[in-house]
A and B are shown apart, each in its own frame.
Chain A
C-alpha cells in the first residue's frame, strides 16, 4: 500500500515510485516484564498484524514497545518534475499511530530529513503503545511529508504541492490487532436457556466507519440448544452445510440492518477492519444488489452456493 487513499490534486507516491525507493521495512514488538525485554512474535498477513496467542503479552498489563526500521534507496527520484516534491524542498518521514475507537493518536517524526542529493537512508523509530488503552486495532502508518518548502519552484514543478506539512506518500500501513485476530465474522458460543433459539446475531452498528467488525457484530450460538451438535465442529454430527447456511443468513441480516441504518452507497474508502470496510468487501466480493432484502438474500446465497 503506497498511495494515500483520498482523492488528491497533487502528485503523491505512486506504486511505481514506491517500488523504486523502498529497500526494506522491518518491525519488531517487545514488552518489559520482570526487568527483561521479551520479544512478541507476530504474523503479518497482508499488512494485518496479529500476535502469537502463546505470548504472555497482553495489551492491558503491558506497554507494547515497537521498533521500526525503514530503509530507503534512490531517493533523488522523489524530487523534481517526475517526483512528489520540488527540488529544493525537504521531505520528512514520520510514523503515525492511532486508534479511532480509543480516541488517541501520536506522530513521531524522524530527525533526519530527505534531501534531493540523498541516495540511501535508513530510519529507526522506537515508540510505545501504552497499556490499558486499546480495544481492537491500532493503525500504524509511515508517511512522507513536505518538511520544508522550496524557496524557488521551477516552472515544470508547479504541479507539485509546496506547502509545508502536506502529506505526499504512504510508505507503510499496518493494522495491528491489539485484541482479537481480525477474523472476518466474529462468533461467540455461550450456553443460553434451552428455550432460546440456536443462534442469534447481535449488532451494534453505530459509528460503522470507525467501529471494528469484532465490536459491531457477533454471531452467538447457543451451546445449550438441542441442535447445537449440528453446528459444533467438534461433534460427530457436525453439518458444515447448516453452519454455512447460518453464517450466510447472518451476513444477509447484517447487510440489511446496515442498509436500513444509514445512507447507503459504500463507494468510499474505509479503514480496514471497520464495519463499513467489511460491508464494502461483501458488496464487491459477493456482488450484492442492495435494492431489497430479497435481492441481498439472492446475491449472498448465489455466492454461498458457489462454495467459495
Chain B
C-alpha cells in the first residue's frame, strides 16, 4: 500500500470543497485507498447499527473504540505500514480528509476542522488508532477488557498529550492497564491526575530508570 500524504494547503482545499458539496471524489483515490474507504464505510455502518441500543456518550465511545480497533488491526496487518507513517500527521490528514471525511462528519461537527486536519492529535483516525496503540495489551481481547468501561474523555486525555521526549509504549500501556482496575465512576478524575503527575515527573525522572522499572513507576503515579 502506498501511504499517501498531501501538503496542508491541498488538504485544506479538499476539506473546504467537502464542506460545500459533502461528497468524496473516489476517482482521485488509489485502488488501495478506495478499498480502505469501502471497508471503513461498511464497518462504520455495522458499528452504528450495533450501538443503537446504547445511550449518547456510550454510543459514541462504542463507535470510537471499535472503529479504532478496526483501523488499528487493518493498518498493522499491512507489511509496509511502518512507524514512519504511524506518527506522520500528513498521512492521517490524507486518511481523514480524502478517504473518510463523510464518516468523520457523522461523528463530529463537520464545520470544526480539528478532527479532519487542523489539530493533529485530534484527527479522528489518528486519535482512535493511537488510543488503541497506547493501550494495547498484546491481543485484542485483553485490550478490549482494559478499555471497555472507559469514556471519550479517556481518549482525549491519553492521545492529546504530545510528549516532547518521544513515546514509551510500555509506559502508556501499563498506565491504561492500571486505569482499568479503577472504578469507572472515578476514572475521569483519577486518569487526569495520573497523566498530569506523569508530565510533571518526566522533568526529573525517566520511567525506564525508576527503581522497579516501568511497573513501579506507574504504581507511583497512581498513588494520589
Contact = CB atoms under 8 A, between A and B. Distances in A.
A109 interface: yes
Contacts of A271: 164
B224 interface: no
B84 A98 contact: no
Contact of B162 (A8, A96, A100): A100
B8 interface: yes
B209 A206 contact: no
A161 B211 CA distance: 14
Interface string A88-131: 00001010101111111101010000000000000000000010
A202 B9 contact: yes
B164 A167 contact: no
Nearest to A206: B120
Which one of A92, A163, A165 has the highest number of Cβ atoms from chain B below 10 Å of its Cβ?
A165
A158 to B, nearest CB: 17
Contact of A166 (B84, B119, B121, B205): B205
Contacts of A99: 166
B20 interface: no
Given A8-B204, A165-B210, A133 B165 contact: no
A305 to B, nearest CB: 32
B204 A98 contact: no
Contacts, number: 90
Contacts of A101: 87
B88 interface: yes
Interface string B72-93: 0000000000111011110000
Given A109-B209, A135-B88, A167-B205, A209 B164 contact: yes
Contact of A92 (B89, B164, B209, B217): B209
B208 interface: yes
A92 B206 CA distance: 12
B169 to A, nearest CB: 8
A11 to B, nearest CB: 12
Nearest to A131: B82
Contact of B84 (A132, A143, A147): A132
B164 A96 contact: no
Interface residues of B, number: 30
Contact of A102 (B87, B121, B168, B208): B87
Given A100-B165, A132-B84, A143 B206 contact: yes
Contacts of B83: 102-104, 130, 132-133
Nearest to A96: B206
A109 B211 CA distance: 13
A163 B209 CA distance: 11
B211 A165 contact: yes
A104 B204 contact: no
A6 B164 contact: no
A104 B87 contact: yes
B129 to A, nearest CB: 12
A204 B165 contact: no
B7 interface: yes
Contact of B163 (A103, A107, A133, A149): A103
Contacts of B118: 206
Interface string B160-174: 001111111000000
| For the complex of A and B, 3 pairs with smallest distance between CB atoms | A105-B166, A98-B166, A132-B82
17 contacts: A60-B84, A100-B166, A101-B87, A103-B86, A103-B167, A104-B87, A105-B165, A107-B206, A107-B209, A109-B208, A132-B82, A132-B83, A165-B206, A167-B205, A204-B8, A206-B89, A210-B162
